[in-house]
Structure 1
Amino acid sequence: MHQPRRRDRRPVRRVHSKPAQHRAFQLTAEGADVVLVGYFSAKQKDFETLMASAARKLAARGARVVVQIVQRRGVSAGGARKMGLPYSSRTLLSYGKVREVAQACDRANADAAIFVSSLTERQQRTLTGMLDRPAVSLSSVLTAN
């Protein structure tokens, strides 16, 4: 006789489709109000220059930077050991900083959050869901025509 089949307890992987409004933003930043987010280690002393440069590049594309937020890693003694690593592999930033970005986006009624650092697809999906607006990396906006 056959033994009864046991249910597989592994979680099911679901593929989430991206909403059309999120894909549309990746094509152009023209006329959009954006929140610019930077993630830098304490070793990066010229982060303010990098943020200003990113804001100029976005302005040249027609976007308007309404808020700039910076997350620094390794400024405290405890974080110095982990300076090269993101705070979270899911979001790149700490969760408190993600909440701060979400509040800034809501207050400024921003169309998107643009990250100076490159984002993985998973980080992009997670941040887009948490912020309720597209979260994209600066490099993807600058390479899109």
Structure 2
Amino acid sequence: MRQPRRRDRRPSRRAASAPVPDPPYLLPASGADVVLVGFFSAKRKDFETVMADAAARLTAHGGRVVVRIVQRRGVSGGGARKMSLPYSSQTLLSQGKARQVANVADLIEADAVVFTNPLTSHQRRTLTALFGRPAVSITDELFNFD
């Protein structure tokens, strides 16, 4: 007794569609209110200068940094090997800190949330949906000042 021939399971030969890039975010020229967020390891001691440099860069390009929020990853016995990893691959921040940023951005009616860390496109989309305003990285090419 012979079984019927199964359909070929090779992938189709259609070309895969290219991912649609996120539109670039341009900082408004006239004093946009910005929440500046940084994620740093507890081992990094110069986080204040990184935040000050980012605030100065935003101010020079017409932004107004209203609030600075820092997420520091603490050093513990078990967490030392995970220091370079974000709390969440979706939001970069811990859940509580992401809610805090969203609440502060709503309270001050910020125009954008700017991260000092690079964000993936998935993180950018997730954070933008969570905050209800553009979430971009100051180190990202999509954050075009010129």
1:42 deviation in Å?
1.2
Instruction: Tell me how far apart the structure 1 counterparts of residues 76 and 100 of structure 2 sit (CA, whole Å).
Output: 20
Q: Which residue of 2 aligns with 1:66?
A: 66
Q: Which residue of 1 aligns with 2:124?
A: 124
Q: Percent identity?
A: 59
Q: Which residue of 2 aligns with 1:92?
A: 92
SS where residue 38 of structure 1 aligns? Answer: strand
1:76 deviation in Å?
4.1
| Residues 10-25 of structure 1: pairs in structure 2 closer than 5 A | 23=23
TM-score by length of 1: 0.78
1:77 deviation in Å?
4.1
| Residues 10-49 of structure 1: pairs in structure 2 closer than 5 A | 23=23, 26-30=25-29, 31-49=31-49
Q: Which has the larger radius of gyration?
A: 2
User: Is the CA contact 1:73–1:80 (under 8 Å) kept in the aligned structure 2?
Assistant: no
Q: Deviations over 1:5-64 (max 9, x none)?
A: xxxxxxxxxx8996xxxx46x123432100000000112101011101100000000100
TM-score by length of 2: 0.78
1:81 deviation in Å?
2.7
Residue 27 of structure 1 aligns to which amino acid in structure 2?
A: L
Which structure shows the higher helix fraction? 1
Structure 2 gaps of 5+ residues are 1-18
Q: Which residue of 2 aligns with 1:111?
A: 111
Aligned length: 127
Structure 1 gaps of 5+ residues are 1-14
